[in-house]
Structure 1
Amino acid sequence: MSDLLSANLNEQVDPDVRFAFILTPAFTILPLAGFIDAVRHSSDEADRSRQIFCHWDVLSHDMAPIRSSCGLSITPWKTYDGAGEYDYIVIVGGLIDQLDEIHADTFEFLQKQHALGTKLVGLCTGSFAIAKAGLLNGKRAAIHAHHRPEFMAMFPESIPIENELYVSDGGILTCPGGTAAIDLAVEILIERCGRSRGMKGLTALVVDEHRMAHEVGRLPFQDLEECGNWRVEQAIKIMRQKLREPDTTEHLAAMLGSTVRQLNRVFLKHAKATPQEVWRDMRLQHARWRLMNSKRTVTQIAYECGFSDSSHFSRWFKTRFGETPRTYREQRLAKPR
């Protein structure tokens, strides 16, 4: 009798949200697994993996298995020709050197779905696939710090955003991958299925809490503190200690017993930016965190992060993040938290 009731329930309930997953060649397992498991737990009252309140498919241009970056393969469920209607198309990226292996039909499918108003979600380097389809021009996208130089070189019309767990812009949602995919999935599920059902999977996934987009575990440029070049590593530590009082490159080099030329050269090699550019970006990212996590005024934050005045700070902040500090704070604090 229970099996019959389950079958009837599956047939009678119209899902609150429908997802299609597209796996690029050499896709990464973790963001796919985290995202789809959050969806799976929200889809059923019990842990029985029934597609009741959520629906999902795995699509591709053909039915050949798709090999992940770790060697595991997944067979698509449907081709694009047999696809249904979806609220979100989730593109799971992976190794960038496999980007050229994505079939042309995939880009055409993404373009058609975006034109129809279907929201696109890029996990890991799925943002690269969306950008290659020409759909991220002029839009912001959450990019892992490791991949930012490549993304900027390949897609100069797009706006890469580091150190945010996910970004939404113009019907396209992106996240840098890893466990951030769980947070993005939960954010979508809360919006479409309600908070209780959207949060349901966190306990089963042994996740402590749902993180908002601006909550990042690692410090900005922490990777440079572990890059293997002592000049860069020590310079980053000094920069972090002197966010309020930035100094000249000449003085920074002297503190390290280096020349300006040597310091610039190693920073361009490891950070793809000059010391002053890194220092300014570090201060801007710290300022962004303070906008979201303190009640200090924009003017106070500007001075506390080493900018001469609020106008100077606002100009650089808008250049870096696409919004003024005031707009950035107002729009994000207006959302339920």
Structure 2
Amino acid sequence: MRHSSDEADRSRQVFCHWDVLSHDLEPVASSSGLAVMPWKTFEEAGIYDYVVIVGGQLEQMEQIPEETYAFLRDVHAKGTELIGLCTGSFIIAKADLLNGRKAAIHAHHRPLFSQQFPKVEPVENELYVRDGSILTCPGGTAAIDLAVEILIKHCGRSRGMKGLTALVVDEHRSAHEIGRLPYQDLEECGNWRVEQAIKIMRQKLRDPDTTEKLAEMLGSTVRQLNRAFTEHAKATPQEVWRDMRLQHARWRLMNSKRTVTQIAHECGFSDSSHFSRWFKAKFNQTPKHYRAQRLVKQR
């Protein structure tokens, strides 16, 4: 936003304006230990298009004062859009503003988020999610893509892309683009059966095997493999494998000109009807409708 708000690199708030807010003017320590100085208190806050909630370490969430939640509920009620960055979504959810909505949650945080906020639908492998007047983002470089999307909307494409160029980022990714490999965390979960199975699954997206064959390749029993997946993935090997193939199919729908039938076969489904049934069960849309809807949004 700083790069896009002015010509050259002068950092003036010309095309965009922002404040750093807190419940008081005391320094706020980031998770790295660096202190951030608030500019205004909530009582001094102006009228904003967006309020961005920057997350921190989850174990420090209990230290967030009630004034923060009250402020978020108040500005949201007045029509201000809220943006949760990384664990900032936990704060929005704790303010009871995400109930019945979808939220983009980092894979590392999804189990705890689902446990604490069962009324919110967590979404993985989306760079950001808009549900009504609330946007959520899993953090990392996805925050850049969300920022550029907002800047383009309000300031025009050239100004939005100016910030992207200044950050030496090659291209702007849209929300649907997958920011990480599905189930990448399981490749480092500490259980060798799960780690090796995920690698095999990724190599054989086109030709999935039975759980019995997978266990045989690993030198494991089916029972041991199922137990390991239940513990670390909260799903069976076949459920994980199918979901991995569906995620890949979704990416191919948006990033290739292959037909739905071709994608179905390339992702290990027996035919397009079988693929469409599972795709709709996962994403609440048929593959054709999903592709058509996203292409319209990109125009």
Q: TM-score, normalised by structure 2?
A: 0.92
Task: Report matched runs for 1:281-292 at 5 Å.
Answer: 281-292=243-254
Partner of 1:229: 191
Q: Which of 137, 142, 145 is the equivalent residue of 2:104?
A: 142
SS at match of 1:57: coil
Q: Aligned letter for 2:83?
A: V
In 2: Cα distance, 1:51 partner to 1:144 partner: 31
Matches for 1:257-336 after TM superposition, within 5 Å:
257-336=219-298
Q: How many residues align?
A: 299
Asked if residue 61 in structure 1 is aligned to residue 17 in structure 2, the reply is: no
Is the contact between residue 142 and residue 179 of structure 2 (CA under 8 Å) also seen in structure 1? Answer: no
3-state SS, counterpart of residue 19 of structure 2: strand
Kept in 2: contact 1:161–1:321 (CA 8 A): no
**Which residue identity lines up with residue 139 of structure 1 in the other structure?**
R
Higher mean displacement: 113-122 or 313-322: 313-322
Measure, in 2, the Cα distance between the counterparts of 1:193 and 1:307: 44
Q: What is the alpha-carbon root mean square deviation over aligned residues?
A: 2.0
The residue identity in structure 2 corresponding to 1:209 is E
Q: Pick from 10, 35, 38: which aligns with 1:73?
A: 35
State the identity %.
78
* Whole-Å separation in 2 of the counterparts to 1:137 and 1:324: 26
* Amino acid across the alignment from 2:239: E
283-292 vs 248-257, which moves further: 248-257
**CA 1:140–1:313: 2 relative to 1, 3 Å:** farther
Q: 1:95 aligns with which of 38, 47, 57?
A: 57
The 3 A distance-change label for structure 1 pair 108 and 204 is: same
For 1:24, the equivalent position in structure 2 comes to none
1:251 aligns with 2:230: no
- Say yes or no: does 1:115 pair with 2:77: yes
The alpha-carbon distance between structure 1 residues 109 and 314, as it changes in their structure 2 partners (threshold 3 A), is farther
In structure 2, how many angstroms separate the alpha carbons of the residues matched to 1:158 and 1:88? Answer: 21
Cα distance 1:153–1:316, how it changes in 2: closer, same or farther (>3 A)?
A: farther
Report the Cα distance in structure 2 between the residues aligned to 1:99 and 1:322, rounded to whole angstroms: 33
Deviations 1:73-128 (A, max 9, x none): 11211111111100011011121222222222222222222222211111111111
User: Any unmatched runs of 5+ in structure 1?
Assistant: 1-38
Partner Cα distance (2:143, 2:92) in 1: 16
**Matched residues in 1 for 2:121 and 2:295: separation?**
22
User: Within the alignment, does 1:160 sit opposite 2:122 as a pair?
Assistant: yes
Contact 2:103 2:120 (8 Å CA) reproduced? yes
Q: TM-score, normalised by structure 1?
A: 0.82
SS in structure 1 of the partner of residue 25 of structure 2: coil
Cα offset for 1:193?
0.2
Q: Which has the higher contact order (CA 8 A, sep 6+)?
A: 1
Which of the numbers 181, 200, 204 marks the counterpart of 1:238?
200
What are the Cα deviations for residues 148-194 of structure 1, in whole angstroms up to 9, with x where unaligned? 11111122222212122111121211111111111110111011000
Cα distance in 2 for residues equivalent to 1:315 and 1:175 = 29
2:55 and 2:95 map into 1 onto residues whose CA distance is 14
Is residue 88–residue 121 contact of structure 1 (8 Å, CA) maintained in 2? yes
